[in-house]
Amino acid sequence: MNKPIRTVATFCLLLFLALLANSTYLQYWKAGELGDDPLNRRVIEAAFSRERGPILVGRQAIAESVPSDDKYEYQRVYPRPFLYAPVTGAFTYFDQTGLERSQNAVLSGEDSRLFVTRLVDMLSNTEPQGGSVQVTINPAAQQAAYDGLEALPGDVEGAVVALEPSTGKILAMVSVPSYDPNRLASHRLGEVTTAQTELDKAPGDPLLNRGTSTRLPPGSVFKIVTAAAAIESGKYDASSLVPGGASYQLPLTTGETGLLDNEGRACGTDRIPFAQAMENSCNTTFAQLAVELGVDAMRDQADKFGFNRQYFEELRQATSIYPEEMDEAQLGQSGIGQFEVAATPLQMAMVAAGVANGGSVMKPYLVDKVSSPSLQVLDQTEPEELSRAVSSATARGLTDLLVSTVESGTASPAAIPGVSVAGKTGTAQSGLDDVPPYAWFTSFAPADDPQVAVAVMIQKADIPRGEIAGGRLGGPIAKAVMEAVITQ
């Protein structure tokens, strides 16, 4: 071999080795990073063109992929967009939210449990399909919750969450205002950008799932937690006399700033029956109980119901807060769900569900099972206890108090003829002069065999400030959701 040929051959060999080394580096070392790179348009377009698996309520798809006649081949469609958008989220060219995000591996077909399916697809030269996600939503309860919020006047902002107490299944999760995820899933990417901008700037933040992500003072619905701490202390039971009075001056305060009253409700003058205090939602009672119990007992009780922790993995969750450090005046306010106490509707549904379930708080879940494209079940969610909030005896005592509150007290709008219902109202002060109070309601039924626990939160509606009340606004919605479950 003469020298020129040898030089050319050596050069070609070096080029070949460089190509081999680069291919090995990209396909072995960098493949994962490149595949996960959100700016990798090839991966995005491949995912956007794939037949993504459906999200199902019963046998009904609330998100599915249908053939399209453009280059992406499949179009993501949401048949009942406004009703289920807080659950499904949206699958867009640029991002995913809701279950579309948390269950993306299964829906896209990339989950490791679908390896055999992908292998068969590759050998048969067919396009891979995504698996399906079955959710726990009860469609009748979901519709009742949505209709109830939509029936309120004006531009409503609010949420409803319903749970199955014995398992933690989420039976309803509604947030308004809602939005149409079909606009965000469109293949006309310019229109998607416009829709995203509109929704980001829209009043009421429609992209926000208020059921899990809005954290507000719970007001008087938090009195369930205070009552639980009082009974768990061993100093009280449901038949005890508790502190009463028309007004209560918070410790360390003087004058009207630290003076609590009951807004005209009958709360006695000294000691009153526990049932009367709960029926009339006596601020003076529960503020005094909180001060008497102390911050450690109150925080411990709140923590056992799920405050100050993360427990919901399927959607974005704001952590509900019970403060760590307070003086006695602030402690008294916390006993009525004010000061810096803040809860999501999901959290308050868990408080009701924990009482309904004999004191055991179940970890909430939205995904019932995931299946392969051939409907083989890959995973079925098993109920899991999150914590033991109170003893079964305390739970029975709380249930008696809450049933009495529906039968003879402020929670009567949730009463269902022939069914024993437990419930509690709440009207929380926002602390801002130009922001009206928040209306809350939480309940469960039947009280002697609980099948559903509900929390309703109304953040805003076109209702005069003086007429906002948790029982008047939230009670009928909770009743409709409970009836939708227990009459099926």
> How far is it, in rounded angstroms, from Cα 452 to Cα 169?
10
If you count them, how many residues does the chain have?
488
CB neighbours (10 Å) of residue 24? 11
Q: Which residues, at least 6 apart from 320, have a Cβ–Cβ distance to it below 8 Å? A: 215, 306, 307, 308, 342, 343, 344, 347
DSSP assignment of 133-151 = EEE---HHHHHHHHHHHHT
**Phi, psi for residue 157 in degrees, rounded to 5:** -125, 120
**Phi, psi for residue 316 in degrees, rounded to 5:** -65, 130
Q: Identify which of 189, 284, 276 has the alpha carbon closest to the alpha carbon of residue 241.
A: 276
Please, are residues 282 and 270 in contact by the beta-carbon 8 Å criterion? no
Burial class (CB in 10 A: 0-12, 13-18, 19+), 417: exposed
Q: What tokens does 404 get?
A: 């009495």
Helix, strand or coil, per DSSP, at residue 364: coil
Radius of gyration of the chain (CA): 27
Catalytic, out of 213, 220, 281, 371: 220
Mark residue 56 as left, alpha or beta (left: phi above 0; alpha: psi -120 to 50; beta: remaining).
Answer: beta
Identity of the residue numbered 158: G
Distance of CA 445 to the CA centre of its chain: 20
> How far is it, in rounded angstroms, from Cα 141 to Cα 90?
22
Please, are residues 322 and 301 in contact by the beta-carbon 8 Å criterion? no
Burial class (CB in 10 A: 0-12, 13-18, 19+), 226: buried
CB neighbours (10 Å) of residue 6? 10
User: Where is 352: in which H helix or E strand?
Assistant: helix 345-356
- Residue matched to tokens 């902002």: 157
Distance of CA 173 to the CA centre of its chain: 7
The CA-based diameter of the chain, rounded to the nearest angstrom, is 114
Catalytic site includes residue 247: no
> How far is it, in rounded angstroms, from Cα 282 to Cα 365?
34
Q: What tokens does 383 get?
A: 């109920």
Q: What tokens does 256 get?
A: 């009207």
Residues marked active site are found at: 220
